[in-house]
Amino acid sequence: MKFIIKIILLICITLLSLDIVNSQESVYSRMQKVAAGEYQIHYIKSDSTLWASGHLSPGYLATGNVVRKGRAVPVKQVNGMDMPKFVKAYGGLHQNAAVDINGNVWTLGEAKTWGCDACIAGDGGKGYYDFANKIEIDEKGNPFTGISMLSMFAGAGGHGWYAVKEVDSSLWWWGIDEGMGYALDGLESVTIQNRPKQVPVPGNKKVVQVVSGGFVIVLCSDGTVYTGAGGCDDYQVPKGYPCNGKSFTRLNQVNGLSKVTSIAGGHQIAYAICGTDSVMAWGRENLLGLGKNEVSLYITPKKMNWNLPSSIRMIVTNTSSTHAILMDSTLWGWGHSAQGEVGNGTMLDRNIYNFIDGISRDTIINQPVRIVPSRKDFVNIYGAMPYTFFSYFEAENGQLYFCGRNKAGIAGNGEVEPPGNNMAANYAQTWSKEYAVPIDIFSLRSSILVPAQQCVDNGNATGCNNYIQPANYPPKVFAGPDQNIDSENTIIVAKANPHSGRKIASYVWSQLSGPTYAHFNTFNDSIAQVSRLKVGEYKFVITVKDSLNSTGLDTIAIVVKPISTNSGRFFLEDQINLFPNPCYDDFYVESNYSFTSYQIFDSSGNKILEKSYSKKIDVKGLNHGIYLLILFTDAGYSKKIKFVIAKS
């Protein structure tokens, strides 16, 4: 009988352990579509290709000598071969990294750091770092593959990467450790590691998540948490226990934590989510969202009491602030917001010279605030600890939002400073976004030149180099005719004509009023589909910027009449297929629906074709580029699908 009881207990413990691991996997194995670096961003597009954005040298972007300021550029490798498909991207300081579909690590950007020329590339130091470089082997010459996640550390006395191998849940590192324990080998020596080396983990435990910045936090499959590295400065790198002697040179368990399912932090603060029951945290008290302004420390973990409307599903930090998605899919933030990092509208004056000198308590949000309160469908947060003062957020339909510092054009909205001056260094928060704004870098038409207001007011101000602001010539914008519909969804098409010599740079739709919040398939294109409409009147506005930051707008009203029984039916993507796509001269429509006609629009919103429906659609004579196909049924319901005409 005792033997049977033991077997039952063993099975229960095993199932409990599996539950913990599975809940952890839902967090640490999620798709990482955006890598946030200090001066560079890398995006994984919907087709799994890897792109970069910024406007510094290719040495930050890995784009092979191609830079389009503030716009997307495909990542390249030096041999000219096509890059593989990617599943995860991770941000760092001046270098990002990504994991391809085969579990290989590619480092992207500046490979040198203090004390070594190329050690943070992990490839042995012989790559050409204006391009992407794949890490082929570890320090013992074995293939380095099967990586499930990455995290960059960048603190006083260390700079490099940690990685977790999926096959055996082992922990690895490469970079430079100047005696601050980043090698986690128990030694206090200067170490340059230019190929991956395995990190000893207490008890040979399996690692499922690692996050780092000034120090490292490690989550193991049994729900325990370990920290180390970065010295014993509790203010910058709180370990979660009293740090003394050389204890920081190895991983030590953080007591008082159990059943932990995910971790966050790595610079001044740290979090441990314990299932759906509680969140434990330690570090600077005024950055933990507890309504306190004191710069005191929780040396050991303390249970957080935020009085939020539901429990927390996900927490992600950047260098100075914290964001969380709750179980109800709402987005919240707190922490330091001198450059708009929180996204609730708090930020220092844009024109303070050198923002660091102007930091005060006024920009610390000391309790959780709702971010983008109009939405409750957030699914992901993208941030990084090593000196990144911004974050990206993703909604259910793939729409990205940005808030925080836009130095070097990394906001995804195309805004950059004019050339030939030092505006971005001297007025870093000029381009920052204090509210989370919708962006889509892949829909940008051109860069948008935005000067610092200091330079507009006084061209002789520090770093302005006699800047003269271009004249304001707003583009002419037409949001389309008002509509009366009896459907839950409709297409809105805007047109914009820029002033002579200028280009349209961006489109952003937003809702002004209506009985409910409409669902957009995109906010950032001249053509958008709005759905989930209810009976009543809606008003939408389209804001259009040109390449010299002149702005025009127009509004459209949509009146939704009572919807009949069969109207407003949604067509599902998997019920309609275009092939081939991209195409050359024609393509075919595969669907069970009965369409009667179709229209084709170009990327500027101009209708260029309208014909009776046929399954084979001829596009001979059209230039290569992105187009929109709208299919109509006899009842007037429509489906919008983008397609690409490739170069022949």
Beta-bridge mates of residue 77: 132
The radius of gyration computed from the CA coordinates of the chain, to the nearest angstrom, equals 26
CA nearest to 246, candidates 312, 177, 165, 189: 189
pLDDT, residue 57, reads: 86
pLDDT, residue 17, reads: 41
Mean pLDDT, the chain, integer: 88
> What burial letters (b/e) apply to 443-481, b meaning 16+ CB within 10 Å?
bbbbbbbbbbebbeeeeebbbbeebeeeeeeebebbbbe
CATH architecture of 476-560: Sandwich (2.60)
Binned at pLDDT 50, 70 and 90, residue 571 comes out as very low
Amino acid at 184: L
Q: What is the pLDDT of residues 208-232, one digit of tens each?
A: 999 999 999 999 999 999 999 999 9
On the question of pLDDT at 390 being above 60, the answer is yes
Pick the CATH number of 573-645 from 1.10.760, 2.60.40, 1.10.3470, 1.10.4030: 2.60.40
On the question of pLDDT at 2 being above 90, the answer is no
- Rounded to whole angstroms, the Cα distance separating 281 from 306 reads 12
CA nearest to 520, candidates 534, 535, 505, 510: 510
CA nearest to 337, candidates 291, 287, 374: 287
pLDDT, residue 283, reads: 96
- Rounded to whole angstroms, the Cα distance separating 374 from 330 reads 9
- Rounded to whole angstroms, the Cα distance separating 510 from 555 reads 10
- Rounded to whole angstroms, the Cα distance separating 98 from 123 reads 14
**300 touches 255 (CB < 8 A):** yes
DSSP 8-state symbol, 32: B
CA nearest to 549, candidates 389, 414, 399, 396: 414
Q: What is the pLDDT of residues 326-347, one digit of tens each?
A: 999 999 999 999 889 999 999 9
Q: Do domains 1-30+137-275+277-310 and 476-560 have the same CATH topology?
A: no
DSSP 8-state symbol, 285: G
Find how far residue 308's CA is from the centre of its chain.
24
Lowest mean pLDDT among 167-181, 360-374, 381-395: 360-374
Q: CATH top-level class for 1-30+137-275+277-310? A: mainly beta
On the question of pLDDT at 8 being above 60, the answer is no
The pTM score is: 0.85
The answer for residues whose C-beta is within 8 angstroms of residue 625's C-beta and 6 or more apart is 602, 603, 644, 645
DSSP 8-state symbol, 427: S
Percent over 90 (pLDDT), the chain:
65
Binned at pLDDT 50, 70 and 90, residue 11 comes out as very low
CA nearest to 270, candidates 248, 292, 239, 296: 239
Domain locations in the chain? 1-30+137-275+277-310, 31-107, 323-469, 476-560, 573-645
